[in-house]
Amino acid sequence: MNTNRLHMHAKILIIDDEESNVQLLDTLLKQTGYKNILTTTDPTLAADLCLHYKPDLVLLDLNMPVMDGFEVLKALQCIETKSYVPVMIITAKTDDHSRLKALDLGAMDFLSKPFNMIEVKTRIRNLLEVRLLHKELQSQNEILEQKLHESSRSVRHDQLEIVQLLSQAAEFRDNATGKHTVRVSYYSEIIAHQYGLPHDECELIITASALHDIGILGVPESILLKSDNVTAEEYKCIQTHTTIGAKLLEHATSKILTTARVIALTHHERWDGTGYPYGLSGHDIHLYGRITAIADTFDALTSSRPYRQAWSSDDALEEIERGRGTNFDPELVDIFFQAVPRLLAIREKYADDEPSDDVAYCEHG
C-alpha cells in the first residue's frame, strides 16, 4: 500500500472555536495536498460530525467555550465504532495535568500553539500513516473473517448433509414411508423457540433432534418390522436404541453431533423418573431431551401404524396433557400447547406418504 499517496485522500476533521486557527490549518493542509478537510468552530457538533463524516484524523482544540476539548473527547468515546480514529490535540496549554488528562481520554498526540508548520505537517502525516495501516489491517481481518465464515458454512453444510443421511437411514428401517424425523425436528425447534432459547440453540436442536432415533440402526429388523405388538423382551431390545444411539455418537466432536447424542440418550426419560435408559427425573433430564420427548410423542400418536390408526390431534393433545408432570416437564407442556397451531401446520405440511402394500413398518415404545 502506498501510504504517501493514499494519506492525501484521508478525511481530516478540524474542531477549533477560533476561526483564524481553523482557516490557518485548512489552508496549510490544502497547500500540502490533502483533499478531504471538514472544519467546525462549534464543538457541540463534534460527535455527529465524527459519526457521519467518519474522519481518519481529528485535530481538536482544548480551550473552547460551551464544550471544551476534554468533553469532546468523552463524547467521541461514546460513539460505537470498530475503527481507531486518532485525535491530535491543538492547544496553548502545556501543563502536564492537561496532557495526561487528554491522553487518558484517548488523545494520540499534541501540537502546541503557535504552530510550527513543518511540525504540523510531519505529525499529521505520521498519524495518518498509522491510521491507514490500521484500516488496511482491519480490511484484511474482515477478509479473513469472511473466509472463515465461508469455511464454517461449508463445514456446517457437510455436517447437515451427514445428519440428514443418517436420520434417513434410521427412519427407513423403522418407517419407510414417513417423515417422522422431519416433523420431530420442526416440532422440537418450535417448542425450543417458544421456550425462549436463543436462535443458535434452536437451529442446533432442529438439526440434532433429527438423530433422536439413530440407535434404531442397531435394533434387529425382526423386531422393527414386526406387524403386531412386541413381547416384553423385544420391547427391552427396542429400548436399547437410546444407548446404541449414544454409543454411535460418543466420539463425535462437532456441536451438532454431541447435541444429537444427548437427545438420543434422553428423549425417552420421563419427568417422574419412570423412563429409560437411566430413570432420570425432573431437571436431571437434559432440556433438549425433554423438548424432543414431547415432540416425538405427539408425532408418534398422530401417525398411523400397522397395528393402529393415527390418533386425532385432539386425542393426542389430551394424552400430552395427561402426561403433564409424569411423562413430561409441566412447563414444557404449557409451552407445547401455546405452540399447537404452528405444530399442526407442520403436521399438515409434512404429512406422511401413503404406504405401499409391500412395505411393512412398526414403531414401538
| pLDDT tens per residue, range 297-312 | 999 999 876 657 889 9
Query: CATH number of the domain that 8 lies in?
Result: 3.40.50.2300
Q: What is the pLDDT of residue 146?
A: 77
Q: Are 338 and 191 in contact (CB under 8 A)?
A: no
Q: Is residue 357 part of a domain?
A: no
Q: Is residue 52 part of a domain?
A: yes
Of 16-20, 166-170, 235-239, the one with minimum mean pLDDT is 166-170
Q: Is residue 364 part of a domain?
A: no
Identify whether residues 16 and 136 lie together within a single domain: yes
Q: What is the pLDDT of residue 110?
A: 87
Q: Which domain holds residue 54?
A: 3-144
| pLDDT tens per residue, range 71-88 | 999 998 887 555 668 899
Q: What is the pLDDT of residue 361?
A: 29
Q: Are 216 and 248 in contact (CB under 8 A)?
A: no
Query: CATH number of the domain that 216 lies in?
Result: 1.10.3210.10
Identify whether residues 215 and 289 lie together within a single domain: yes
DSSP 37: E
Q: Give just the sign of the alpha carbon dihedral 201, 202, 208, 212.
A: positive
For range 91-118, the mean pLDDT: 84
pLDDT at 21 over 80: yes
Q: Is residue 157 part of a domain?
A: no
| pLDDT tens per residue, range 109-143 | 888 878 788 888 888 888 888 888 777 777 777 77
DSSP for 108-167, please give it: -EEEESSP-HHHHHHHHHHHHHHHHHHHHHHHHHHHHHHHHHHHHHHHHHHHHHHHHHHH
Q: How far is residue 7's CA from residue 30's CA, in Å, rounded to a whole number? A: 13
Of 170-174, 195-199, 246-250, 316-320, the one with minimum mean pLDDT is 170-174
Identify whether residues 123 and 194 lie together within a single domain: no
Q: What is the pLDDT of residue 347?
A: 93
Q: What is the pLDDT of residue 12?
A: 94
Identify whether residues 130 and 75 lie together within a single domain: yes
Identify whether residues 345 and 230 lie together within a single domain: yes
Identify whether residues 93 and 206 lie together within a single domain: no
For range 231-235, the mean pLDDT: 89
Number of domains in the chain: 2
pLDDT at 357 over 60: no
Q: How far is residue 54's CA from residue 48's CA, in Å, rounded to a whole number? A: 10
Q: Is residue 288 part of a domain?
A: yes
Identify whether residues 198 and 119 lie together within a single domain: no
Identify whether residues 297 and 205 lie together within a single domain: yes
Of 131-135, 247-251, 264-268, 352-356, the one with minimum mean pLDDT is 352-356
Q: Is residue 158 part of a domain?
A: no
pLDDT tier, 91 (very low <50, low <70, confident <90, very high otherwise): confident
The dihedral region occupied by 273, where left means phi > 0, alpha psi between -120 and 50, and beta the remainder, is: left
Q: Is residue 159 part of a domain?
A: no
Identify whether residues 315 and 252 lie together within a single domain: yes
Identify whether residues 136 and 54 lie together within a single domain: yes
Rounded to a whole number, what is the largest CA-CA distance in the chain?
99
Average pLDDT of the chain is 85
Percent of the chain exceeding pLDDT 90 equals 47
Selection from 70, 29, 68, 75 nearest residue 49 by Cα: 75
| pLDDT tens per residue, range 201-226 | 999 999 999 999 999 888 887 787 77
Q: Is residue 358 part of a domain?
A: no
Q: What is the pLDDT of residue 219?
A: 85
pLDDT tier, 360 (very low <50, low <70, confident <90, very high otherwise): very low
Identify whether residues 8 and 131 lie together within a single domain: yes
Identify whether residues 105 and 189 lie together within a single domain: no
